[in-house]
């Protein structure tokens, strides 16, 4: 029975016990003292590679901490787990599937087998199909029903069929090719639909229905609405093939919807939705930045894959990021993990990382079905800097909760304006520094005295100005946000999430938790709309349904 099916309570490992003892020592650890005693600390706890600088020196760690964490990674069988992930073993045990998003960025000539079938020819066939489509649209060869070229593409999809494509495209805005604008229709709220179509001309619009299952309510309802809109704008059934394509693993359902078979880009069950931007789900990215830049994105991810596969754990960025996350979640009781990009085009990047991390590791049982006794995936949140400094950084600096932080910042700005980028970069570094240094009571009192405050005023004000400090953060510095570096960054987080799932012994690739809401949704919908509805299971839901029925005039 493979390792990931065997009951694995990581807390029973001697490496976990050793970390528990080590924590007793480390809870008194002070980063400020560590930096003052060791001028080589940055050098010892930072890594360069894959067009990234990973500074993890501002963490509550010593060399011994890293050694103990790396031993944990070894003792949970990470080496074998990593090999199984890349080789197509069914690491997604509950769905009996592989998780081969890494295959999507492997070069020509590589082979990856599932049930003795090499999947790489089809992977590259789809890349070729994507290239054909992107080129025909960019070269104005693809014509709409009035023979006009396509100027706008609407991606109809939600979750992984939306977030990754949208946020990578947004991150790569400076690389956008002129001539094609991508829009995203995800939610079932009619306001979003109206907002998107308001600026569209049906003659020059292509809809991409992106749905691995081709069974997601929001996506199907939006696709139907888009088709009705298309007809209302003068399109006809015979024109659908020019204006609707699909990306799905459910070809039958896509054809039944009315998508021409030749317009369907295949997906596979061995690619999870939140890991699928590298597949044809990434068409909006390719249409935005061009196929050569899309292949640069793949190359960047491949570069990180090789680093993850080959670097020793103590010099392995995703492994170290994962271990630090376990150290804070499971030993320091970190309440959440904040990801703060100091880059306008990455302002919403955390939304993709939320699904990637929280839908992968928001689990309560191990792969063998046994209940977890420790915390698994953290709450991932964040937002763009400097804006966060004027919104929630107060809590990070003086709040009562232990929250670890990743700062992300490029050296080169996509849009230099005077010395703005130097200030942006300075703010990013100073926030990380302030979290670590803080300001103690003596420093506050000296500062207030120098400003002429009286002893009485100082005694009153000082406690409010003290900042505890000693709060950890990682800083990821990109040379610039490019297709290659962004591909590496996304893959870094994918592998971090995977490593944590192996340590906790959970399945990062299923998402059974989202099923119940969908099931209950149908009963509530009927409660809202049926003439003689069946009473709801509980009086809260029934009360809320009644309020709707009494106030809705739709």
Q: Name the minimum Å distance from CB 91 to ligand F6P.
A: 16
Q: Name the minimum Å distance from CB 219 to ligand F6P.
A: 5
> Is 359 a catalytic site residue?
yes
> Is 518 a catalytic site residue?
yes
Tell me which of 51, 203, 296, 359 is the catalytic residue: 359
Exposed/middle/buried for residue 169 (C-beta within 10 Å: 0-12, 13-18, 19+): buried
Among positions 484-503, residues that touch ligand F6P (CB under 6 A) are none
The β-bridge partners of 337 are 380, 404
Q: Name the minimum Å distance from CB 532 to ligand F6P.
A: 32
Q: Are 318 and 326 in contact (CB under 8 A)?
A: no
| Residue placing its CB nearer to ligand F6P in the complex, 213 or 336 | 213
CA angle (500 as vertex; 499, 505 as ends), nearest 5: 100
Q: Does 514 bind ligand F6P (CB under 6 A)?
A: yes
Q: Are 267 and 247 in contact (CB under 8 A)?
A: yes
Q: Does 511 bind ligand F6P (CB under 6 A)?
A: yes
Please pick, from the candidates 8, 169, 211, 263, the single residue that binds ligand F6P as defined by CB under 6 A. 211
Among positions 113-172, residues that touch ligand F6P (CB under 6 A) are 158-161
| Residue placing its CB nearer to ligand F6P in the complex, 97 or 471 | 97
The β-bridge partners of 478 are 52, 410
Among positions 317-376, residues that touch ligand F6P (CB under 6 A) are 359
φ, ψ for residue 324, nearest 5 deg? -65, -40
Tell me which of 228, 315, 441, 518 is the catalytic residue: 518
| Residue placing its CB nearer to ligand F6P in the complex, 8 or 211 | 211
CA–CA distance, 493 with 300 (Å, rounded to integer): 13
Tallying the residues shown for the chain, one arrives at 554
Encoded one letter per residue, x for contact with ligand F6P by CB under 6 A and - for no contact, window 47-86 reads ----------------------------------------
- C-alpha closest to that of 327 among 7, 60, 57: 60
CA angle (489 as vertex; 357, 101 as ends), nearest 5: 65
Q: Name the minimum Å distance from CB 199 to ligand F6P.
A: 25
Tell me which of 178, 238, 390, 464 is the catalytic residue: 390
Exposed/middle/buried for residue 107 (C-beta within 10 Å: 0-12, 13-18, 19+): exposed
- C-alpha closest to that of 47 among 371, 315, 445, 424: 315
HSE, side-chain direction, 13 A CA sphere, residue 456: 0
Q: Name the minimum Å distance from CB 164 to ligand F6P.
A: 9
Window contacting ligand F6P (CB under 6 A); options: 127-135, 171-179, 208-216, 543-551: 208-216
Window contacting ligand F6P (CB under 6 A); options: 66-74, 213-221, 237-245, 407-415: 213-221
| Residue placing its CB nearer to ligand F6P in the complex, 212 or 421 | 212
Q: Are 251 and 267 in contact (CB under 8 A)?
A: no
Helix axes 317-326, 483-504, angle to 10 degrees: 50
Q: Name the minimum Å distance from CB 58 to ligand F6P.
A: 34
Q: Which positions are catalytic?
A: 359, 390, 518
């Amino acid at each position: 029975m493979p390792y990931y099916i065997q009951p694995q309570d990581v807390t029973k490992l001697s490496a976990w016990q050793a970390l528990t003892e080590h924590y007793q020592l480390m809870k008194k650890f002070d980063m400020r003292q560590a930096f003052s005693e060791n001028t080589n600390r940055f050098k010892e706890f930072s890594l360069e590679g894959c067009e990234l600088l990973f500074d993890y020196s501002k963490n509550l760690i010593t060399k011994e901490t890293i050694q103990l964490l790396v031993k944990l990674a070894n003792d949970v069988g990470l080496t074998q787990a990593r090999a199984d992930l890349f080789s197509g073993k069914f690491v997604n045990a509950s769905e009996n599937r592989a998780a081969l998003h890494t295959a999507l960025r492997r070069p020509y000539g590589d082979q990856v087998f599932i049930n003795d079938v090499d999947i790489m020819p089809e992977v590259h066939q789809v890349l070729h199909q994507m290239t054909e489509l992107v080129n025909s649209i960019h070269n104005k060869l693809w014509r709409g029903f009035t023979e006009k070229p396509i100027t706008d593409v609407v991606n109809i999809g939600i979750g992984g069929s939306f977030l990754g494509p949208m946020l990578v495209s947004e991150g790569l805005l400076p690389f956008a090719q002129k001539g094609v604008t991508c829009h995203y229709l995800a939610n079932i709220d009619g306001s979003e639909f109206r907002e998107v179509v308001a600026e569209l001309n049906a003659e020059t619009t292509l809809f991409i229905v992106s749905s691995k299952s081709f069974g997601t309510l929001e996506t199907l309802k939006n696709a139907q609405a888009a088709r009705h809109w298309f007809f209302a704008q003068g399109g006809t059934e015979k024109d659908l093939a020019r204006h609707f394509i699909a990306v799905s693993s459910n070809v039958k359902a896509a054809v039944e919807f009315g998508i021409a078979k030749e317009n369907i880009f295949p997906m596979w069950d061995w690619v999870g939705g939140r890991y699928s931007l590298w597949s044809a789900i990434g068409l909006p990215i390719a249409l935005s930045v061009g196929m050569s830049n899309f292949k640069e994105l793949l190359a960047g991810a491949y570069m990180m894959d090789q680093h993850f596969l080959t670097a020793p754990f103590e010099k392995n960025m995703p492994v170290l990021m994962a271990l630090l996350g376990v150290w804070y979640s499971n030993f320091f009781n970190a309440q959440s993990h904040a990801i703060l990009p100091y880059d306008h085009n990455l302002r919403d990047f955390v939304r993709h990382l939320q699904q990637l991390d929280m839908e992968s590791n928001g689990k309560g049982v191990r792969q063998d079905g046994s209940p977890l006794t420790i915390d698994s995936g953290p709450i991932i949140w964040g937002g763009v800097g400097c804006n966060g400094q004027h919104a929630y950084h107060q809590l990070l600096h003086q709040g009562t909760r232990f929250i670890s932080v990743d700062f992300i910042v490029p050296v080169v700005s996509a849009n230099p304006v005077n010395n703005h980028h130097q200030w942006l970069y300075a703010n990013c570094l100073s926030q990380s520094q302030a979290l670590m240094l803080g300001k103690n009571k003596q420093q506050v009192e000296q500062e207030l005295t120098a400003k002429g405050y009286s002893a009485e005023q100082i005694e009153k004000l000082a406690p409010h100005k003290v900042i505890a400090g000693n709060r950890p953060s990682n800083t990821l510095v990109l040379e610039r946000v490019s297709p290659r570096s962004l591909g590496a960054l996304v893959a870094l987080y994918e592998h971090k999430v995977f490593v944590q799932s192996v340590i906790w012994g959970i399945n990062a690739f299923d998402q059974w938790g989202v099923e119940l809401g969908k099931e209950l949704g149908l009963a509530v919908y009927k409660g809202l709309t049926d003439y003689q509805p069946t009473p709801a299971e509980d009086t809260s839901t029934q009360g809320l349904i009644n309020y709707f029925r009494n106030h809705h005039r739709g």
